[in-house]
């Protein structure tokens, strides 16, 4: 499939298509299409085959494909970022924007310390261009930390929504119902079927109690985070 991709790229080259259709048009108008068209097609097959097998052309095709993949990845990342930002409430969105603005300011300060000519006048957006590979790596690490912070904010928002929609009363009702059913099954019964039923009820009861405890713990942590913020 890799070589077919090179042949396809060679055929779809705009100069090749221009020459091919121009030649076919000339052959059609020449009065002897049965002579010229087979020759043109043979030349086209030879050209596409030779170009597709050329190592420089293959590297060019691979580079273009890699570039398209990077651009698509950047586009997808931007779309995901925008969806997350739109989903967050105003308070969390403002919190992230404040952190992002401070990171941009720190970047600019670091670059100005390296090169005072980069000092910007008040109100000018920070310049983030740098030719230092180490600085680029540091800035990329800062971007990853910002991305992690945004995902944590969204996770917190999703958890808060889940907690708001989950009812303590419903879980408590499930616990009471399971306890009532469990009381109806003798603990010392020798009937294998009743033992199986009791074991299932005990497992479900333990799961419901754990859900209630985790829910209460998560709500307490959410209130503490809200108080700190």
More confident residue, 125 or 3: 3
pLDDT > 90 fraction of the chain, expressed in percent and rounded: 0
Q: For residue 177, is pLDDT > 70?
A: yes
Q: Tell me the average pLDDT of the chain.
A: 76
Region 102-130: what's the mean pLDDT? 63
Determine which of 71-85, 98-112, 194-208 has the lowest per-residue pLDDT on average.
Answer: 71-85
Cα(106)–Cα(126) distance, rounded to whole angstroms? 10
Region 213-225: what's the mean pLDDT? 73
Looking up tokens 């709500």 gives: 219
Cα(55)–Cα(57) distance, rounded to whole angstroms? 5
Region 168-185: what's the mean pLDDT? 83
Residue 229, pLDDT score: 57
Q: For residue 110, is pLDDT > 80?
A: no
Nearest alpha carbon to residue 149 among 103, 218, 109, 217: 103
Residue 133, pLDDT score: 47
Q: Could you write out the DSSP letters of every residue in 47-59?
A: HHHHHHH-HHHHH
Residue 60, pLDDT score: 84
Cα(134)–Cα(111) distance, rounded to whole angstroms? 12
């Amino acid at each position: 499939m890799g070589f077919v991709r090179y042949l396809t790229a060679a055929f779809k080259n705009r100069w090749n298509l221009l020459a091919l259709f121009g030649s076919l048009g000339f052959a059609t108008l020449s009065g002897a299409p049965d002579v010229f068209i087979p020759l043109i097609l043979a030349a086209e097959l030879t050209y596409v085959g030779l170009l597709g097998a050329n190592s420089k052309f293959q590297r060019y095709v691979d580079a273009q494909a890699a570039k398209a993949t990077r651009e698509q990845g950047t586009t997808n990342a931007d779309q995901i970022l925008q969806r997350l930002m739109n989903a967050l409430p105003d308070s969390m969105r403002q919190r992230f924007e404040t952190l992002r603005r401070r990171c941009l300011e720190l970047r600019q300060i670091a670059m100005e310390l390296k090169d005072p000519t980069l000092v910007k006048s008040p109100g000018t957006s920070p310049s983030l261009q740098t030719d230092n590979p180490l600085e680029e790596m540091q800035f990329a690490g800062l971007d990853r930390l910002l991305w992690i912070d945004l995902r944590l904010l969204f996770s917190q928002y999703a958890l808060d929504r889940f907690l708001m929609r989950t009812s303590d009363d419903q879980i408590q009702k499930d616990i009471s119902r399971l306890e009532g059913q469990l009381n109806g099954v003798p603990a010392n019964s020798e009937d294998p079927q009743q033992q199986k039923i009791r074991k299932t009820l005990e497992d479900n009861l333990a799961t419901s109690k754990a859900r209630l405890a985790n829910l209460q713990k998560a709500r307490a942590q959410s209130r503490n985070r809200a108080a700190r913020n």
